Structure formats: structure tokens, C-alpha cells
Structure 1
Amino acid sequence: MENFIARAEKTLARIHELAAISEDADGVTRTFGTPAFLRGSALVQSWFEQAGLRTRLDSIGNVRGRLVSQHPGAKTFVIASHIDTVVNAGRFDGPLGVLLGLDLLESLRARNVELPFHVELIAFSDEEGVRFHTTYLGSKVVAGSFDQSLLTKTDAAGISLTDAIHTMGGNAATLAADAIPADQWLGYFEAHIEQGPVLWERNIPVALVTAIAGQRRVELTFKGMAGHAGTVPMHMRQDALAGTAEFVLAVEQFGVERNTALVATVGKLDVRHAASNVIAGEVTCSLDLRSADADELQTAYEALYAQADAIATRRQLSLHWNLIQQTAPVTCDAGLNQHLTRAIADSGYPAVELVSGAGHDAVPVSFVAPATMLFVRCFKGISHNPLENAELPDIAAAIQVSEQFMLNLIAAN
């Protein structure tokens, strides 16, 4: 274990060095295509090159490094995560998986392990979707599922995705060429902090991810009639904020009643022309639904639409309901999961199985290749927050398990 601790220390030092590159001084913010993101990307690329990987930057800004097999017709096994962040993020969400992968490839190369397949390490450029309100830009390009219509989307400054790609040195016209063809994939592995409290509370360093929850994201607007707070009688009001508040509580109650099957969240509220002495005439809010069960997700979507519509009708409000994003639930590959489960057990840890409520780059990849994931314990399950932390012994355990997984996979092929 002493060797894995030393390797974890090196990985942790890299995580801290990357975290020092940020758009702001107080936290960690590296959104897709910004100067801070480009500096971070260049640092990661330099580490790939120093490790002796065949390194390149593709057109969407993914940093890609390969260990090449000498076997004719070898397929490609991908190890990956992302290096973009949310605003005011933590250090570990994404970079842990990339830099743990770098350690694995350095170890395989140093030991002259004969590879029956190519291994490609990828630092995806955009998983969080902060700048253009999209997710998985980097991994969708690699999986060959990038939606060309996204190129016209603009950020808050009016810059299109096409222009952002060109500013980064990429070429939007060549994105399709950066995909790994479906028949050339062997599989996909991603290590990631849990972003939940289960491993922390059970004091277990790692877990197998069996599935990734599907998501529905909705933007909905209630419209009523703005009016003077002091002159419109209560029974004559068309208060959009009161209607929205009723919907927020209905969402919470719906989620509580189905706690084991799904989670439901309203995380954003926009009161148009808000003032303390004005009855709100228009309010927009978000709805985030997540479940590993596709039928449960559809049922929740329909039921909450019906509740929103009923609230609007009863309160004489209009309702605009806009589905802005949906992803199907993903079940991780049984074969790769067997290798990973055995690696966990061989490393001396209990084989805990978890479903991920958060989305990951494994989602788009899973539609073209077998995918598996390893969760790593994080402090109190806190994520998307500067308090996010993975401790040295847990990183060492993740390196140990991941290396055993790779050796199992190499032996099986």
C-alpha cells in the first residue's frame, strides 16, 4: 500500500496544481473555452506529453493521450473524465478521474506491460455544460453523437459555440473526425468522487457504480397579472409567485413520497420585475427529475406537469412548460463490472454497489461502448462546492483498485 500512497500523493499534488488555475481567486472556476480553462488544459496536456503518451488536442478541446498496442487490429479502451467545472467548484469533480488515469498509464508504461488493446486517456473539455447550457460536449464528440445544431447556441455574451471552438484553436467543421468509431471501442472506465454521502458514512473508500440515473430538466413559467400589493383584494389576485410556490412544495412532496425511486428538485427561481410592493405577474422556475428507472422518470414527468397545470388553472394563471434536456438512465456493463468487482475484492475492500444520481461522461459513451465506473469516497458527500475533498488514503485505494482492474482486463484480452 505504501507505493499506492506515494502515487496518490503525486496525483493529489497535480489536482491541487490544476485547481490553482481559476477564473476567480476565491474558488475553482474553469468553464469551457475561457482563458483559465485553456491554461488548465495546457497544463494537463503537458503532463500527458511528459508521461510519454501520444498526445493531441482535438477540435472540441479534449486533451487526448494514447498508449499504443502493437497488436494488429487492436481496439481502444478509454479512461476519462472532465476538466471543466461549475462556478465556485471543488477540486476533485472530474480532475480526479483524469489524473488517476494518468497515473495508471504512467505505471503501465514504466512496467512495459504488453497491451492487447490501445489505451486512450481523455480529459473531456465540457461535461458540466455551464457556458452554453449543454452537457457532455466533449464526450459526445468522442462518442460520435454530437448534435451539430448546438454550434449556433450562444453564451451570456452572445458568443456562439462555433466561435468559441475557433477561439480555442479548434475547427467546428472537423468535429465528426474526432469520434472513435463504434466498432473500434473496447470499453470505457471512469473514476469519480461519489458526490453523495454513502461511502463517507460507511467509511468505505470505493464503490462500483451499477447505473446512472436518467434526467429530465424543465423550465416552466407561470403568468398571472402584476398588481399593486396594497390595492388588489386577496381573492382577486392572479399571483404567479404564489402559484410557483405551491408548485415548488408539490415537487418536494412528490419526491419525498417516492424517495427510493427518484429525486425531484426546483433549484432556480426568477421573478420578473420583482418588487416588494408588487404582486408577481410572471415567474420562471426550474424542475430537475432524476431516476435510474425510465418508467418512473416518465411517470414523474407527466404527474408533475399535471400538477403544474392544475395549479395554473385553479389560480387563473397561464403555464408555459419547456423540456430543455433529457437523458435516459444508463446501466453499466455487466462484463466490465465483473472485472471491477473482482478488482475491489482482490484489493481487500467490500464490493459496495451504488447508483449515481449525478450525470457523467459515461452516459453518452455507454451508447457506443461498454462502460463502467468507480466511485471514490468524498468528504460528507459534498460536491460542486469548495469544501469538496477526497482524502489521500481513499485516492490510494482508488489507484490500487483501478490498476488491478486494468490488469484484469489486460489478462482477459
Structure 2
Amino acid sequence: MLTYTERAARVLQRIQELAAISEDDYGVTRTFGTPAFVRGSALVRSWMEAAGLVTRIDNIGNVRGRLLSKRVGARTFVIGSHIDTVVNAGTFDGPLGVLLGLDLLEQLAARPLDMPFHIELMAFSDEEGVRFHTTYLGSKVAAGSFDFSLLTKPDARGISLAEALDVMGGNVQELASDALPANEWLGYFEAHIEQGPVLWEKKIPVALVTAIAGQQRVGLTFTGMAGHAGTVPMDMRQDALAGAAEFVLAVEQYGLAHKERLVATVGKLDVRNSASNVISGEVTCSLDVRSADAAQLQAGCEALHAQALAIARRRDLGLTWSPIQQTAPVACDAEMNKLLAQAIAGAGHPVVELVSGAGHDAVPISAVAPATMLFVRCYKGISHNPLENAEQPDIAAALEVSERFLAQLINHHNHA
């Protein structure tokens, strides 16, 4: 029998094999529906098949492998994460959870065991939302909450989601049938790199996720008057870029003033018809506000909207405020978290509780099943970056904790 260290080495090897499948030669980019994504999905499915799982790729592109219980009426416990990436990504965000889950099921499949429930490993197809600018496509189909109006949504090249699914071999008429019915869900577990620096700084390998922050994303456009940089007096300008710059700093200041309760970010700035000798006439920027407290999230967005309006009035600018996405905070399931905390302590680690500021597939799944998450330490908390890394000892620790958690869950349902 392999040690946890040896098993972690195998997980790392598979992560690197998957990372080698990319849309470019200089990094890891594997966005939903691309040829690289399809090749990556086929590789993950081949590993599931080799482990003895019953596999399929569903109509949204999720790779799914089931370890079946022999009990009549057994429900399904799902282990999952995603295999799509952002552009120029790291190698661990998503695939770590999938391939750690695969290792767990390999161990279970290799020995005779009276399973009280099915276990299904789901490698979700699109969590990041890069191509169609909407997140959780894969997990929403599995949860039965997919928005069918998205099928007409085009990507940057004008290809609709429905057309992309057709190229992948999916059948949009069968999407609804890919949902696991709500009454068949037993629970959900996801392991994921922390994407933050807490565990790295504390030198602790894993943490219990208590909640996932809610998000509000907004697009703002400041509209002024383009003009010649050399001829319009400074006090007579309607400089849209100056207004946007003031808003960027206002967002940072608000976030710092409320740092215990939320984070706020402007991550994108688009200066229309920009030139070094032109006063900007139109600037569009993004706003991303996140909090585990729904009231604080709403209050923060309202306060920043008011600040944007005040900046626009003071500078004689037009302002459009366009909400793009809103996700409510999600609390992880108390009973599942109790079992996971016991597994962490049983493996000899302190039980560190963290709120996830990043979104995860556990968000849509939590609407139909009790969900729990395990964070794994990553290098300096870096993510969505080629420097993203998780070390073998930490992955070994995550494997032991996850296996203890599954054993406790199986034991609990065997004696229920």
C-alpha cells in the first residue's frame, strides 16, 4: 500500500501531465470548450476509467466517474472541482481537488467495501467563466440550476454557448437530464488550494472552510469630453480617466476602512480611443466587492455607487452603473464541517477556520446538498499565476485528512 507521501507524488505527477495540455506553449491556458480543454478532459476520464469508475462526459463537458454502492436506493456523495483555467494560469487551481478526489476513489475501489452510498467524482467543465463571462456552468448543470438563456450567449468570436457545446459533442436538449436530482444528493466535498497567504504564513497544511464570500460585480463607465491635451485648460476639462482614477483609489480606501468585513477591487480599466496627447472622453472599469456577510456586501456596493456618483457630479461626468453578477454568501454545512474538523484534528493538525474570498463550485452545489471544503496551503497564497504551487507534504496531509473524513462519513451512514 502506498504511503500518503507516495500518493501525493502521484497526484502531483498527474497535475503536471494535465498542465502540459494547454492552448499555448508558454503557460497553462485551458479554457472551456477549446481543443486543449477537450484533450484534458479525455485524459482525466482515462484516469477515472483506469481506477475502475463508471465514467461519462456529460452534455456541458463535465467529466464524471462513479463508484457504485450495491444498496438499493443509495444516494450520491459528490467530490468535485474544476479543470478549466484562466488565461496564463497556475497548475493547481481546480485540478488539485479533482485529482486528489481521484486518488481517494482509487483507494476505495481497490478494496472490498460495503459502500452505503455512491460516490461520484465530478471534474467540472467551466468554473472560471473565462470564455462566456459566466461562472459555474458545469456545476450548475449538475445541480439543476443551469440558466438555459445562456445558450445564446456569444464568446469573443461570436460563437454561442450552444454552438460550442455542439462542437464538444454535447446535446443541449439533454442538459436538464445531466442534473443529479436534489433528493439523490448526500453531500459535497471539495479540496482546493487556499488562494490566500494565511496557511503559508502559519505553516499549516490545511484549513476548514466555514463560508464562501458573496460577490457583486459591476461595470462602470465614466463619460466626459475628449479633448486636446495641449489646448484645454486644466480647470475646464471633463477628464473621464481622472474620474475613473479617483474612483479606483476610493474603492481601495473603502476596502481598507472595512477590511475586516469585505474586500473591494477594480481590476479592469478600458480607456476608449486612448492616446498620450488626448484627454480621455470615456473610461470603463470593473468593480468586484466580496463579503461573507450579505448585509455588508450590499452596503459596500451601495456606498461605492454613491461615491462614484459623487465623483461624476464633481467632475461634470456622466456615469453608467451596470450590475453584471451577484452571488450570495454561502455557509458550509455545519454537520459536514464537524466531520471534516474531526478529520483534521485526527490527523494531528490544528483546526484553522477560514472564509473563502474566492468563488467555488461549492456555491451552486450548496443549494441542493450539504457542502464542505478543505483548503490546502499554497506558495505565498499566489493563484491565477504561473507561480501557483502546492507542496508534496501539504498534499499528503490533505489526502490523509480527506480519507479520514470519507471514512467517518461512511461509518456514520453504515450505522445510521
The TM-score range, normalised by the shorter chain, is over 0.9
Does 2:156 align with 1:171?
Answer: no
Equivalence for 2:65: 65
Q: Deviations over 1:31-62 (max 9, x none)?
A: 00001001100000100111110000000000
Equivalence for 2:263: 263
Does 2:99 align with 1:99?
Answer: yes
Distance across 2 between alignment mates of 1:258 and 1:377: 26
Does 2:73 align with 1:85?
Answer: no
Distance across 1 between alignment mates of 2:13 and 2:235: 62
Equivalence for 1:250: 250
Does 2:387 align with 1:384?
Answer: no
Does 2:166 align with 1:139?
Answer: no
Distance across 1 between alignment mates of 2:29 and 2:115: 37
Does 2:278 align with 1:283?
Answer: no
Q: Which amino acid aligns with 2:99?
A: L
Equivalence for 1:402: 402
- Structure 2: state its 5+ residue gaps: none
Distance across 1 between alignment mates of 2:22 and 2:305: 39
Distance across 2 between alignment mates of 1:277 and 1:308: 26
Equivalence for 2:219: 219
Distance across 2 between alignment mates of 1:289 and 1:259: 11
Q: Which amino acid aligns with 2:332?
A: C
Distance across 1 between alignment mates of 2:361 and 2:117: 21
SS in 2 for 1:69: coil
Does 2:254 align with 1:238?
Answer: no
Equivalence for 1:349: 349
Equivalence for 1:150: 150
SS in 1 for 2:121: strand
1:113 Cα deviation from its structure 2 partner = 2.2
1:173 Cα deviation from its structure 2 partner = 1.6
1:235 Cα deviation from its structure 2 partner = 1.2
SS in 2 for 1:290: strand
1:236 Cα deviation from its structure 2 partner = 1.1
Equivalence for 1:300: 300
Distance across 2 between alignment mates of 1:2 and 1:62: 29
Distance across 2 between alignment mates of 1:343 and 1:238: 60
Q: Which amino acid aligns with 2:6?
A: A
SS in 2 for 1:70: coil
Q: Which amino acid aligns with 2:390?
A: A
Q: Which amino acid aligns with 2:11?
A: T
SS in 1 for 2:149: helix
Distance across 2 between alignment mates of 1:130 and 1:332: 26
Q: Which amino acid aligns with 1:130?
A: V
Distance across 2 between alignment mates of 1:385 and 1:250: 27
SS in 2 for 1:264: strand
Q: Which amino acid aligns with 2:222?
A: F
1:174 Cα deviation from its structure 2 partner = 1.1
Distance across 1 between alignment mates of 2:235 and 2:14: 61
1:114 Cα deviation from its structure 2 partner = 1.5
Distance across 2 between alignment mates of 1:306 and 1:74: 52
1:172 Cα deviation from its structure 2 partner = 1.2
Q: Deviations over 1:193-220 (max 9, x none)?
A: 0000000000000000000000000010
Equivalence for 1:53: 53
The structure 1 segments of at least 4 consecutive aligned residues displaced by more than 3 Å after TM superposition are: none
Distance across 1 between alignment mates of 2:409 and 2:235: 68
Distance across 1 between alignment mates of 2:14 and 2:242: 49
1:2 Cα deviation from its structure 2 partner = 7.0
Q: Which amino acid aligns with 1:42?
A: A
Distance across 2 between alignment mates of 1:307 and 1:368: 38
Equivalence for 2:76: 76
SS in 2 for 1:190: strand
Does 2:32 align with 1:12?
Answer: no
Normalised TM-score (structure 2): 0.98
Distance across 2 between alignment mates of 1:111 and 1:398: 21
Distance across 2 between alignment mates of 1:297 and 1:71: 44
Distance across 2 between alignment mates of 1:330 and 1:155: 29
Q: Deviations over 1:73-111 (max 9, x none)?
A: 111100000000000001100000000000000001112
Distance across 1 between alignment mates of 2:250 and 2:346: 47
Normalised TM-score (structure 1): 0.99
Task: State the Cα RMSD in Å.
Answer: 0.8
Does 2:190 align with 1:190?
Answer: yes
Give the alignment of 1:29-48 within 5 angstroms.
Answer: 29-48=29-48
Equivalence for 2:111: 111
SS in 1 for 2:267: coil
Q: Which amino acid aligns with 1:288?
A: D
Distance across 2 between alignment mates of 1:19 and 1:198: 26
